[in-house]
Amino acid sequence: MDNMNLNKHISGQFNAELESVRNQVLVMGGLVEQQLTDAIAAIHGQDLEAARKIVANDHKVNAMEVAIDEECTRIIAKRQPAASDLRLVMAIIKTITDLERIGDVADKIARMLTDNANKPQPPLVSLENMGRRTIKMLHDVLDAFARMDLEAAITVYKEDDKVDREYESIIRELMTYMMEDPRTIPQVLNVLWAARAIERVGDRCQHICEYIIYFVKGKDVRHTKVDEINDLLGKP
Amino acid sequence: MDNMNLNKHISGQFNAELESVRNQVLVMGGLVEQQLTDAIAAIHGQDLEAARKIVANDHKVNAMEVAIDEECTRIIAKRQPAASDLRLVMAIIKTITDLERIGDVADKIARMLTDNANKPQPPLVSLENMGRRTIKMLHDVLDAFARMDLEAAITVYKEDDKVDREYESIIRELMTYMMEDPRTIPQVLNVLWAARAIERVGDRCQHICEYIIYFVKGKDVRHTKVDEINDLLGKP
């Protein structure tokens, strides 16, 4: 049902262009998901080689953002989309900004690992767990985006609560660690920044959920409470 | 010269709509600037009443973002802008996202102050200095936006270097403070988050500079080096 509008242009160049730009978003999303997955795996293995590869790859994500953005502006100028087509293009323009920032998080984790190399390590297990949860969120929101699936988007949206709780607990853990051994403060701060960045991935996945809701429902739900977003499912 | 395209629609409803939405951005920018100014002033005076007012006002900034965004989408659908008109609308859509996030920074500083109330305070003087520098950047970039002034935008862009250096020095200062008295770690972390948030204001002002450059030059300079941005001034 939610795909109805996506299938409206049953033929023609415009349809092909919209499909192509949608696919580019999914390719970009796939790359960002890979970068984040590699970064979280690198935490586990303390893998500096992998970390350096992630940093080197970040420019690809940036280039995709710029290319997709340009293509969207071109489509608006040339095709003058209206209604749900325009909402799709607007949703894409916003989604790629958040995807690019999630790419930056992978880059930041990788830099944290190289900065902290060969220094006493604070516990990183909880960071990995939170990281894996955000990878799952990103994966699921890209899936919801591919199908413009309202229900799936709302499910992902609500997941962020768990990320926030894990984040709070990591901060407490790292705070205790610093208090017990103040010499580790510089390294622990690096880990704190990485934790903060990972927590932001959850927020950014929520943003993408909001754009999906905007596309499907034509309603801007940014800055709305989770209850109201939940209500959208009940209202056809 | 840079205003050339702004004056193209010498009459008509379309012109009025573009002007109106541009003005709304400046009003939103003014409110955000006020919120940030109040937040930095509240740091100085440890003013909890002011801090609470900032938190209570944040929803106004959010509402303006949503309203301007809606208006821009409406203009695209109804007026089918092309060339520099479309670039203006796209620049506005992106600018308001960054303005809203700067509003969040004011909110975050205010919350830091209330969280840390009546607890031993780490030095906040450097935070204020950095804060004042970012207020100046925000003020100047809004000014550049109002006139779509390429040269002014590039000047603001380059200011962020100083913010970054101040930020590094604040982090070192706060790190020393924590190491000397680990009991203060929880409060200092609150200050660290605020410092980080203020540092991000500089980045967000840079983003707005990039949108101004995009409007004036039709060139997407995100993820480009400062040298290349500088070169734009030389090339008519």
pLDDT digits (tens, 9 = 90+) for B210-222: 999 999 999 999 9
Give A86's contacts in chain B (Cβ within 8 Å): 73, 76-77
Provide DSSP, chain A. Answer: -TTGGGGS--SHHHHHHHHHHHHHHHHHHHHHHHHHHHHHHHHHHT-HHHHHHHHHHHHHHHHHHHHHHHHHHHHHHHH---HHHHHHHHHHHHHHHHHHHHHHHHHHHHHHHHHTTTSPPPP-HHHHHHHHHHHHHHHHHHHHHHHT-HHHHHHHHHHHHHHHHHHHHHHHHHHHHHHH-GGGHHHHHHHHHHHHHHHHHHHHHHHHHHHHHHHHHS---TT--HHHHHHHHH--
The answer for residues whose C-beta is within 8 angstroms of residue A68's C-beta and 6 or more apart is A21, A24, A25, A28, A92, A96
A8 or B144, greater pLDDT: B144
DSSP-derived 3-state class of residue B47: coil
For residue A80, the one-letter residue type is Q
Q: Which of A96, A104, A170, A178 to mutate to test the interface with B (most CBs of B within 10 A)?
A: A178
Question: Quick check: B4 pLDDT over 70?
Answer: no
The reply to whether residue A66 touches residue B97, judged by beta carbons under 8 angstroms, is: no
Which residue in B187, B173, B41, B205 sits closest to B112, CA to CA?
B187
CB within 8 Å of chain A, chain B residues 25-84: 59, 62-63, 65-66, 69-70, 73, 76-77, 80, 82-83
pLDDT digits (tens, 9 = 90+) for A12-26: 889 999 999 999 999
Q: What is the pLDDT of residue B124?
A: 85
Contact B64, B24 (CB under 8 A): yes
Q: Residue B11: which pLDDT band, with cuts at 50, 70 and 90?
A: low
Running DSSP on this structure, what letter comes out for residue B8? Answer: S
Residue-wise over B147-186: b if at least 16 C-beta within 10 A, else e? ebbbebbbbbbebbeebeebbeebbebbbebbeeebebbb
Question: Quick check: A234 pLDDT over 70?
Answer: yes
Question: Quick check: B99 pLDDT over 80?
Answer: yes
The Cβ of residue B219 has, within 10 Å, a number of other Cβ atoms equal to 14
CB nearest to B182's CB, from A83, A178, A192: A178
CB nearest to B178's CB, from A82, A182, A222: A182
What domains lie within chain A, and their CATH numbers? 4-234 (1.20.58.220)
Contact A26, A146 (CB under 8 A): yes
Which residue in A88, A94, A99 sits closest to A138, CA to CA?
A99
What is the distance between the terminal CA atoms of chain B, rounded to a whole angstrom? 11
Q: Tokens representing B47?
A: 């003013």
Question: Quick check: A11 pLDDT over 80?
Answer: no
For residues A85-90, give the mean pLDDT: 96
Q: Residue B9: which pLDDT band, with cuts at 50, 70 and 90?
A: low
Q: What is the pLDDT of residue A2?
A: 46
A125 shares contact with chain B (CB less than 8 Å) = no
Using the structure block, give the residue that is written with the tokens 């990281």: A131
Give A99's contacts in chain B (Cβ within 8 Å): none
Q: Residue A1: which pLDDT band, with cuts at 50, 70 and 90?
A: very low
B97 vs chain A: nearest CA distance in angstroms? 10
Question: Quick check: B235 pLDDT over 60?
Answer: no
Share of chain A above pLDDT 90, in %: 82
Rounded to an integer, what distance in angstroms lies between the CA atom of residue A233 and that of residue B173?
A: 50
In angstroms, what is the C-alpha Rg of chain B?
Answer: 19
Give B80's contacts in chain A (Cβ within 8 Å): 80
